[in-house]
Copies of this chain bind each other. A is one copy, B any other.
């Protein structure tokens, strides 16, 4: 079964709103195992919407029209689909009662356009609108199924989840489930990851593998279809083991809602360790990333932004002459910063960042050159990185590389000394 989504609205063609409904519905359809190969966007224009519906009929079985169900003269989707199929519009009594109650409450007269919100093409199943006034509809004619859905996301999303998905599941009448597993990687680029998994990606049928680029990270989604969740997981387990064997050095966690900062905070909590930081290059970004995780306050009490050599010395108790002699961007300075921060904050572990964000070199050191230091009770080490990209990218990559190095340290696994993302 193939689906096609038609989003209706001149605002989308003008760039005034983004088609978030399309993404939301596509994700639900994908979870149901329904392929959608094409999407269209058209304006509030009956002729062009009619042409879009005809085009969708030529290549899909399940045709969704998103938006255009409201009370304004621009809202034409319901009328256009009904005319396209030669159906009359008929009234949904509960929706009409709701409309009338609303009009009475607002002391509005009820216009013909208003009444349209409670109507649907004859023969359709009504999809109730729990949030707004315009009903949706699902109508099967021969081998094609047509669905009308409202435009405002706060009406659209509940209607999709609560009315449409159950109706589609009933229509499909399948006995299959889909299970996905998201693996997160740092330190490897998407193209290198694809290269490492090339044979698996080329041979995929069930389970499937798909890569996604996140800011300075890559995620891999493994998806299996089977009769039960247990059977789907039994398909996923050996595939994941194979992936982990190849890429485990870069793996740091599971899930769409995960992050390096969350993994670090979880590792700090499990080892009951407190962290601090001294940031030059990253100027507070590392600490801000850490503090974005709720509940961090038990494991992070504070730290330092030491942007100049003078503040490295005065805030962290370093010897300014030696820092100046070694250079701000040096193994010596990174190590001293981490040790100084750890002592000043009374923390268990400290991380430091010093480097050149660019644009252009600084003190003869190329943009993208970064030292990251890590100090514990046992000692201190610093690693050298070379990050590509502009000022923002260098700082963003440095923060993630620092989180990853700290995570590996907390996990008792040695930190990477090379960096490939």
Tell me the A residues contacting B by CB distance below 8 Å.
Answer: 10-20, 22-30, 35-43, 45, 48, 52, 55, 70-73, 102, 105-108, 111, 113-114, 131, 152, 189-192, 194-195, 210-213, 277, 279, 282-288, 290-292, 294, 296-297, 300-308, 310-312, 314-315, 344-346, 359, 368, 386, 388-393, 395, 418, 420
- B308/A301 in contact, CB under 8 A: yes
A300 to chain B, nearest CB (A): 6
- A302/B294 in contact, CB under 8 A: no
With A and B bound together, what is the CA distance between A105 and B139 in angstroms? Answer: 58
A351 to chain B, nearest CB (A): 13
- A292/B391 in contact, CB under 8 A: yes
Identical chains bound together, number: 2
- B302/A303 in contact, CB under 8 A: no
A to B CB contacts below 8 Å, 17 in the list:
A13-B37, A13-B38, A16-B23, A37-B43, A37-B45, A70-B191, A72-B211, A73-B194, A106-B189, A283-B292, A284-B285, A284-B291, A284-B305, A285-B285, A287-B305, A300-B307, A315-B345
A104 to chain B, nearest CB (A): 11
Instruction: Assess A12 versus B37: contact at CB under 8 Å? Given A72-B191, A291-B284, A292-B392.
Output: no
**Chain B minimum-CB-distance residue to A17:** B23
With A and B bound together, what is the CA distance between A38 and B48 in angstroms? Answer: 8
- A288/B291 in contact, CB under 8 A: no
Q: What residues of B have a CB within 8 angstroms of the CB of A314 in the complex?
A: 344, 346
A132 to chain B, nearest CB (A): 8
A95 to chain B, nearest CB (A): 14
From B27, B111, B283, B315, A287 is in contact (CB under 8 Å) with B283
With A and B bound together, what is the CA distance between A195 and B11 in angstroms? Answer: 19
From B37, B40, B282, A39 is in contact (CB under 8 Å) with B40
Q: What residues of B have a CB within 8 angstroms of the CB of A294 in the complex?
A: 359, 391
With A and B bound together, what is the CA distance between A225 and B354 in angstroms? Answer: 48
- A307/B291 in contact, CB under 8 A: yes
- A15/B28 in contact, CB under 8 A: yes
A398 to chain B, nearest CB (A): 12
With A and B bound together, what is the CA distance between A395 and B388 in angstroms? Answer: 29
With A and B bound together, what is the CA distance between A114 and B294 in angstroms? Answer: 40
With A and B bound together, what is the CA distance between A311 and B287 in angstroms? Answer: 14
From B24, B106, B297, A388 is in contact (CB under 8 Å) with B106
A303 to chain B, nearest CB (A): 5
With A and B bound together, what is the CA distance between A160 and B309 in angstroms? Answer: 40
Instruction: Assess A13 versus B41: contact at CB under 8 Å? Given A72-B191, A284-B291, A304-B305.
Output: no
- A190/B131 in contact, CB under 8 A: no
- A20/B22 in contact, CB under 8 A: no
**Chain B minimum-CB-distance residue to A219:** B16
Q: Which of A19, A27, A42 has the most CB of B within 10 A?
A: A19
A167 to chain B, nearest CB (A): 19
With A and B bound together, what is the CA distance between A302 and B345 in angstroms? Answer: 16
- A23/B15 in contact, CB under 8 A: yes
**Chain B minimum-CB-distance residue to A31:** B15
Q: What residues of B have a CB within 8 angstroms of the CB of A19 in the complex?
A: 18-19, 22-23
- B27/A190 in contact, CB under 8 A: no
A343 to chain B, nearest CB (A): 12
- B26/A15 in contact, CB under 8 A: yes
**Chain B minimum-CB-distance residue to A202:** B73
**Chain B minimum-CB-distance residue to A392:** B292
**Chain B minimum-CB-distance residue to A55:** B55
**Chain B minimum-CB-distance residue to A286:** B284
- B108/A71 in contact, CB under 8 A: no
Closest 10 CB pairs of A and B: A284-B284, A15-B27, A302-B311, A15-B26, A283-B291, A39-B41, A284-B287, A301-B308, A284-B288, A285-B288
- B15/A24 in contact, CB under 8 A: yes
With A and B bound together, what is the CA distance between A386 and B311 in angstroms? Answer: 33
